[in-house]
Amino acid sequence: MKFELKIFLSIMFIFILSLSIINFVNLYIINQLISDYLDIQSRVYPDFFEKMKVESILEKKEKYATVIFLWEAFLVLGTSFVIYLVMYRYIKKEQRYKSFLQLIILSVSHKFGNSLSSILTNVEILKNKVNSKQLDRIEKVVLDLSKDVKILSDTFKKLEFEDRTYKNVDIKEVILESLKNFEIEEKKVILNIKPIKKYANKTDIDLIIYNILENAFKYSDRYIHIKTVKRYLVIRNDTKENVEGGTGVGLLIVESLCNLNQIRFCKKVRKKTFTIFLDFS
């Protein structure tokens, strides 16, 4: 069920419940007043009470209750319709902005990718003619930027903007599927994982796990340890000697997606190890 539909149904339920309670209390008080009035009249004016038509009083009460019910139904339906129209226009407007933003970022990423490829080509040509540490540093920076641009582009292509769906995702299955994208034979991959279910967006979980594993395979020297402890996922790897870190775009995306899906993200950097904790509670 879509989020906006849930909100709409919740508002209708609260509205109907509130009016029903008010109507019930109102009719209960009217019944008490009529009962008290008839009781007093029967004792004070017994002859007059015999001539009164109690049925006519009750009939008027029923007509009053019917009119109140019809007005409440009209109020609920009319207000709900107006709320639905406002929400629909707001959500459509937000979706257009998000689609436009996605298009801009993908276009800019594509332009950056082409420019960086051109720079790398010219750097390679220069390196064939001149050996220079400056050229090596330029090449390193451009390569890191190219990887970050690719991460951004791939992330925005996969993210769901128009219709985000949530379901129970098996974290173990996502990890095993994501590992197929890496050369696990080149590293010692230690797996000690059990199924963990998390109600979240499947695409977001795929991106979270993929970016964490990509970071681990990129900077690890010999091993990557992946394990689960209760509702926690721990991914730890050793680090290469004299490794230079990137710009951290991948982990920044991971942290943002974790916040979006109510997943606690934590990282610890030690002298020779890098550890990431994900809390799926």
Predicted TM-score of the model (pTM): 0.55
pLDDT tens by residue, 39-97: 776 676 665 555 555 566 666 767 777 777 777 778 777 877 787 777 777 777 776 66
Buried b (16+ CB within 10 A) or exposed e, 90-110: eeeeeeeeeeeeeeeeeeebe
Confidence band of 265 (pLDDT split at 50, 70, 90): very high
Q: What is the dihedral of CA 120, 126, 127, 132, to 10 degrees?
A: -110
Average pLDDT, integer, range 225-236: 91
Give the number of other Cβ atoms within 10 Å of residue 122's Cβ.
12
* CA distance linking residue 100 with residue 272, whole number of Å: 43
pLDDT tens by residue, 161-209: 555 678 889 999 999 998 888 887 778 888 898 999 999 888 889 889 9
pLDDT tens by residue, 5-36: 677 777 777 877 787 787 777 777 777 777 77
pLDDT value of position 185: 78
Confidence band of 121 (pLDDT split at 50, 70, 90): confident
Q: Which of 191-195, 247-251, 276-280 has the lowest mean pLDDT?
A: 247-251
pLDDT value of position 162: 53
Confidence band of 276 (pLDDT split at 50, 70, 90): very high
Residue 225 has pLDDT above 70, yes or no: yes
Q: Is 58 helix (H, G, I), strand (E, B) or coil?
A: helix
